[in-house]
Chain A
Amino acid sequence: MRFTRGFHRRSGQDADPARVPPGQYVTNDFPVLSAGPTPHIRLADWTFTLRGLLDTPISWTWDQLRALPNETVTVDIHCVTKWSKLETSWTGVSLDTLLDGVETAADYALAFSDGGYTTNVPLADLTGGKAWVAYEYNGDPLDPVHGGPARLLVPHLYFWKSAKWVRGLELSEAEVPGFWEGYGYHIYGDPWKEQRYAGD
């Protein structure tokens, strides 16, 4: 290990180290990261669609999504730009609910969003109580800056996988790299293995 002369841990960091993945620091703020302008869509025009490798696409309108059973979860989130935020509270619909009864041979999903953003996630990482379409943060409607009206929430992966302004999933047999994945970020993005960039 190569020490940095004169550098030491700042005192007063009291986060449980077991909850902070390698190379991350805990922030109480809620930083924002997105590559393009924040899209604004009318809820009347909003849909969430499953398409690709299934017999017919399935869509929910905003009202239909909101009528589905929801869950409120408290999770830690980890951004590849190094910040982690602990104990964040989200409300939304579990992907288990949306994928329930869907017949597909797909192993992968490419989440797509307003503004053209995409990110790829294995289907197995979206099921089993691990992922949601979230529309509330701390009990309030999700701010557009943070991905409102709804974003994907996949907290066990780096947060770029939690696509803001999500509008659906494209299901496929093969993994298709999304936006940041195409720019050299890791295809999977496990924060605990520090999979930030391709090859990590």
Chain B
Amino acid sequence: MERAALRRRLNWQIATVAELITETPRTRSIALDLPGWAGHRAGQHVDIRLTGEDGYQAQRSYSIASAPEDDRVVLTVERLDDGEVSPFLVDELRTSDELELRGPVGGYFVWEAACGGPLLLVAGGSGVAPFRAMLRHHGASGSAAPVRLLYSARSLGDVIYRDELMRLAENGEIDVRFTLTREQPAGWRGYRRRIDQELLADIAWPPTERPLVYVCGPTNFVETAATALVTLGHEPGRIRLERFGGTGGSA
């Protein structure tokens, strides 16, 4: 009780859209000005609240894609065609628009430099968003923990933060592996299938090295990855999951 009672209430605050970055045809990053933002930890999320002129309100949760050390809080949103909020955020929102936001929320799916490594990040589609916060935090904090990112996307054009990830990989700061599940460019040397146990066995450190594993993506992706990792002998207590969407997800 005491632990909970000491927490400050999460009040709604006004965020102003400072910049919009088209990441892929389906995703856009929203950089926000948030005066008085109390800070966050990499992996946490925020709630967004939209209000229509008739008073109708909708709330959604989005992972924070920026590091605690970054100047602005950034959210990366994927358009779900039958969605109510994501098409608005991806297609309609403009700079200087205001959004109501509260957070940060969540404390389990968090990586901080003090958590150490080796750190294995497994992303499906836009599930890469919280990992971008972790990767940037890893760099900004000067963490020496080795990092591997396995990123499953439909095609190269669907890879979010592609230039940034390529740069990190080229600098040798992290080890980035892609699997492209639907379409591969000519001469593609990466993986070309949905993740499975063999692929994870290829990429993950052996269980004896006790990697700290984070998996984020659509439900089926996360379930497949988590089951495979446990089967390979990784400790369930060192595998942290974040899922989105229903049981019919893709990517």
Which stretch (B8-16, B27-35, B118-126, B160-168) binds chain A? B8-16
A196→B244 CA distance, assembly (Å): 18
Minimal beta-carbon separation of A119 from chain B (angstroms)? 13
A34→B5 CA distance, assembly (Å): 24
A182 neighbours in B (Cβ, 8 Å)? 3-4
A29→B83 CA distance, assembly (Å): 13
A1→B60 CA distance, assembly (Å): 18
Known: A174-B1, A182-B3, A184-B105. A7 touches B10 (CB 8 A): no
Q: When each residue 54-80 of chain B gets 1 if its CB lies under 8 Å from chain A and 0 otherwise, what string results? A: 111111110000000000000000000
Minimal beta-carbon separation of A8 from chain B (angstroms)? 4
A69→B159 CA distance, assembly (Å): 52
A37 interface neighbour in B56, B108, B241, Cβ under 8 Å: B241
Known: A36-B236, A37-B226, A39-B236. A187 touches B51 (CB 8 A): no
A8 interface neighbour in B14, B53, B105, B247, Cβ under 8 Å: B53
Once the chains bind, are A197 and B10 in contact (CB under 8 Å)?
Answer: yes
Nearest to A197 among chain B residues (CB) is: B10
Once the chains bind, are A32 and B59 in contact (CB under 8 Å)?
Answer: no
B contact residues, total (Cβ < 8 Å): 55
Minimal beta-carbon separation of A142 from chain B (angstroms)? 14
A125→B161 CA distance, assembly (Å): 46
Once the chains bind, are A10 and B84 in contact (CB under 8 Å)?
Answer: yes
Minimal beta-carbon separation of B82 from chain A (angstroms)? 9
Minimal beta-carbon separation of B77 from chain A (angstroms)? 14
With most chain B CB atoms within 10 A of its CB, the pick from A3, A13, A39 is: A3
B100 neighbours in A (Cβ, 8 Å)? 2, 4
Minimal beta-carbon separation of A88 from chain B (angstroms)? 14
Once the chains bind, are B108 and A183 in contact (CB under 8 Å)?
Answer: yes
Asked whether B175 is an interface residue with its Cβ less than 8 Å from the other chain, the reply is no
Once the chains bind, are A82 and B59 in contact (CB under 8 Å)?
Answer: yes
B3 neighbours in A (Cβ, 8 Å)? 177, 182
Once the chains bind, are B105 and A37 in contact (CB under 8 Å)?
Answer: no
A15→B51 CA distance, assembly (Å): 18
A60 neighbours in B (Cβ, 8 Å)? none
Q: When each residue 1-34 of chain A gets 1 if its CB lies under 8 Å from chain B and 0 otherwise, what string results? A: 1111111111001000000001111010111111
Known: A2-B98, A36-B237. A23 touches B247 (CB 8 A): no
Once the chains bind, are A31 and B56 in contact (CB under 8 Å)?
Answer: no
Once the chains bind, are A7 and B246 in contact (CB under 8 Å)?
Answer: no
Once the chains bind, are B229 and A37 in contact (CB under 8 Å)?
Answer: yes
Chain B contact residues, CB within 8 Å of chain A: 1, 3-5, 7-10, 14, 47, 49-61, 84, 88, 92-94, 97-100, 105-109, 219, 222-223, 226-227, 229-230, 236-237, 239-241, 243-248
